[in-house]
Amino acid sequence: MAASVARAGVRRPARSTVMRRVLDSEQFNGWAFVTPGVAVILLFGAVPIVWSAVLSFQKSALAGDSSSVGLANYRQLAHDPVVGEAIQHTLIYTALFVPGTMLAGLLLAVAMNRKIRGITIYRTAAYATMAISTISEAIVFIWLFDPSYGIVNYAFSKVGLPQQQFLNSPSEALYVIVAMTIWGWTGFAVVVYLAALQGVPQSLLEAAAIDGAGPWRAFRKVTLPLLSPASLFLAVWLTINALQLFDEVYLSTQGGPLNATTVLVYYLYDQAFQQFNFGYASAIAYFLFLIILVVTAVQFWVGRRVTFYRS
Amino acid sequence: MTATSAPARSGPRTADQHSHPHARRSRLPFSPWHFVLIPATVVLLFPFLWLVVTSLETDPEALHFPPILIPHTIRFANYSDALAAAPFVRFFINSAVVAVTTVLCNLVLCTLAGYAFARFRFLGRTALFAVIMATLMVPFQVTMIPQFIITKWLGVHVLAAVGINHIGALILPNAATAFGIFFLRQFFRTLPLEYEESARVDGASRLTVLIRIVLPLATPCLATLAALTFLDSWNNFLWPLIAVTSTNQMTLPLGLATFQGAHNTEWTLLMAGNVMSLVPMLIVFFIAQRYFVRSVAATGLAGT
């Protein structure tokens, strides 16, 4: 309506006015602004989601054999003993890594949330672990835990513990990977908890002290509940990352020894890009997605009940 | 560190127990928290320290048990040997090109899209935004196989520079992220409309309003997105592992992993290569520490 009024009232050629109106419209600008970014996300994010769903019902794509096999890939998945092991390893890893990182982060953040001498050095040391890539981290830890020359075995010998095979031992390798990844994520957890601790009002802690609560009691009854949103965030975030563990396993053990560190994403990578079973690998990928969805849904469901929001 | 100076140093903003009666029970001339922090810092820093020590040792000293904590001869030649064995400078340049380009693309594309989703009403906006949010939930492992097939196809049929085995393949799929669009859209929605409206009344185009009025207000937000994107890109391993096989296209993590595969018992060489791979990032990190830390804290707080 506005356009027709303007056109009637103005003598200039109608075409350029229409053009200008179009170029200035929310419709045109909206599409022009979103198209480049959205195109990238559709091509490399949305289309592949559908595509891999289709692949999971096919034999294989690389060999050119895209014949439909129905649910065969999923049936194979249910009966594949390696998948069973991979699920077990992934869950054990997650169950150790997530609480371990949260506890380390919480303890250090509480210790660092004060102005004491050397606090900058302490904080910087924790932050530094965020700058190191998973690959660098894994190489250093393989060396630290080397069975023959590693310094950890040396420390063990000093305190009278027997020498260990660590990454070469099927019963120990996964725990070494837990240790290295906790180290690598500590800085992240410290930053999140420190930020949350800054939001704990001093007045509440003082009020608790006046009411006779000791520091431990005040921490449990005041600080910890106020940190619970940060804890929920960390639990979910770390779990999503833990279920996708790959880099450290690829570098340190390649899933071995004797499949002891084969986690889901490693097996998926192996099936997709070593064996080129794209169809079966896609089924594993969707299965992994399902696990992540279920686990995070449970975390949010439980989290809702125990998380304390001040607002 | 004396008893008299310790309480004076703790300011009123900290959560120290200086104002609590319990704090007076402590007879220590320093904060007891040092008993937690010193061992923890040793554990956090020791791997870095040991990495550097090994990178400067001779082979007989590195492969000695018990380990030699202070090398008798410092061997810098490990570094030149590592450089001769693998093109670490090339890896570094590739990583830098990929990370910087990815950050710039994300800043431009996510700003445009995020602003449009925040401010313009256009046909299909809600549906499009819903699709983008859906991709945010799906882990990379679900999309990586088709992403590989698409990238391969693009390289053969459209442009070799974005195909398999080119660093372009490491940039294009990450040139815009659903997270970046969502993150900036949320921020743009919090800005008051008045500035933009008055600029529009003065005849500024929508793009001019975005660049002149909105972006200056969004600088901290853009810095956060830039820091997060940079870290992600710099440390990305799985996608380069799939998309790149020739040495001269490798980024640092992939080059280092390949180097480790070829020299997995030559520890001094490996550690020298590792030091060279992580020192540039450590320097960048410490220069821009405030931004990195703030951006990680921001995601943490945004998630709560």
Whether pLDDT at B7 is above 70:
no
For residues A130-144, give the mean pLDDT: 93
The Cα–Cα gap between B298 and B301 comes to: 5
Q: What is the pTM of this model?
A: 0.87
- Taking contacts as CB-CB distances below 8 angstroms, the residues of chain B near A115 are 9-11, 14, 16
Report domain extents, chain A.
2-48, 74-306
Dihedral, A149, A151, A153, A156 alpha carbons, nearest 10:
150
Per the CB < 8 A criterion, the answer to whether A215 and B282 are in contact is no
The Cα–Cα gap between A47 and A41 comes to: 9
Contact residues, B window 85-114, toward A, CB-based 8 Å cutoff:
109-110, 112-113
- The CATH code of the domain at A74-306 is 1.10.3720.10
- Taking contacts as CB-CB distances below 8 angstroms, the residues of chain B near A126 are 40-41, 44
Using CB atoms, which residue from A111, A144, A186 is nearest to B33?
A111
Using CB atoms, which residue from A26, A121, A282 is nearest to B122?
A26
The Cα–Cα gap between B233 and B180 comes to: 13
Prediction ipTM score: 0.88
CATH architecture for segment(s) B89-253: Orthogonal Bundle (1.10)
pLDDT tens sequence across A28-72: 999 999 999 999 999 999 999 999 999 999 887 565 667 888 889
Q: Which of A140-144, A199-203, B103-107 has the lowest mean pLDDT?
A: A199-203
Q: How far is B253 from chain A (nearest CA, A)?
A: 6
Whether pLDDT at A143 is above 70:
yes
pLDDT recorded at residue A64: 64
Per the CB < 8 A criterion, the answer to whether B121 and A30 are in contact is yes
Residue with tokens 């380069």: B240
pLDDT recorded at residue B26: 57
Residues 6+ apart with CB under 8 A from A293: B137
Is the Cβ of A131 closer than 8 Å to some Cβ of chain B?
Answer: yes
Angle (CA) B69-B75-B77 rounded to 5° is 145
pLDDT recorded at residue A234: 93
pLDDT tens sequence across A284-294: 999 999 999 99
Whether pLDDT at A75 is above 70:
yes
Number of Cβ pairs < 8 A linking chain A and chain B: 328
Whether pLDDT at B22 is above 80:
no
Residues 6+ apart with CB under 8 A from A291: A87, A90, A243, A264
pLDDT recorded at residue A115: 87
Report domain extents, chain B.
89-253
- State the average pLDDT for chain A: 89
- State the average pLDDT for chain B: 87
What is the band of A101 on the pLDDT scale with cuts at 50, 70, 90?
very high
pLDDT recorded at residue B41: 92
Whether pLDDT at B6 is above 50:
no
Using CB atoms, which residue from B116, B257, B289 is nearest to A33?
B116
Both structure tokens of A69: 């096999």
pLDDT tens sequence across A225-256: 999 989 999 999 999 999 999 999 999 999 88
pLDDT recorded at residue A309: 76
Residue with tokens 């649910």: A71
The Cα–Cα gap between B51 and B267 comes to: 10
Higher pLDDT, residue A214 or A11: A214
E-state strands within chain A: none
Higher pLDDT, residue B115 or A20: B115
Per the CB < 8 A criterion, the answer to whether A118 and B1 are in contact is no
Per the CB < 8 A criterion, the answer to whether A90 and A240 are in contact is no
Omega before A257 within 30 of 0, i.e. cis = yes
Per the CB < 8 A criterion, the answer to whether B251 and B170 are in contact is yes
What is the band of B73 on the pLDDT scale with cuts at 50, 70, 90?
confident
Q: How far is B158 from chain A (nearest CA, A)?
A: 14
